[in-house]
Amino acid sequence: MVVFSTFQSHPNDPIYLIISGSLAKEVVPIIYEFSNLVQIFLFCGSVSAYSEWGMDYCDKMMIFDHGDDLLERLWNDLQNKLREYATLCLKRAEEYKQRALQYKKSCG
């Protein structure tokens, strides 16, 4: 299955998975333990049909029956991750700048 090979061929990349309810019960138990799985967005016709089953996966899975809600949550999650990454990049850039300034100082 393509889903499994994606996880294996991108072991260092964070993966957000949108999956249909019809595939979820087959796929989620198999991929759930992959370390690069960040979040599962299960899209289905009825949240109540999957809520009891989904409790075993609630720390990495959210269930949606409205596409707009799913997209809004995905957008917010990605936005937060990108902000965290940008903050880290800016911090590192400042550290490198300070190191570079130290090398510019005269030795004597």
The string of pLDDT tens digits covering residues 66-76 is 999 999 999 99
Mean pLDDT calculated for residue range 14-36: 95
**pTM reported for the whole predicted model:** 0.81
Q: What is the pLDDT of residue 104?
A: 78
105 or 16, greater pLDDT: 16
What are the backbone angles phi and psi of residue 107, rounded to the nearest 5°? -85, -5
Select from 51, 59, 1 the least CA-distant residue to 21: 51
Residue 41 pLDDT grade (very low, low, confident, very high; cuts 50, 70, 90)? very high
| Greatest distance between any 2 Cα atoms in the chain | 75
Mean pLDDT of 40-60: 96
Counting every residue written for the chain, the total comes to 108
Segments making up each domain of the chain, as ranges? 2-102
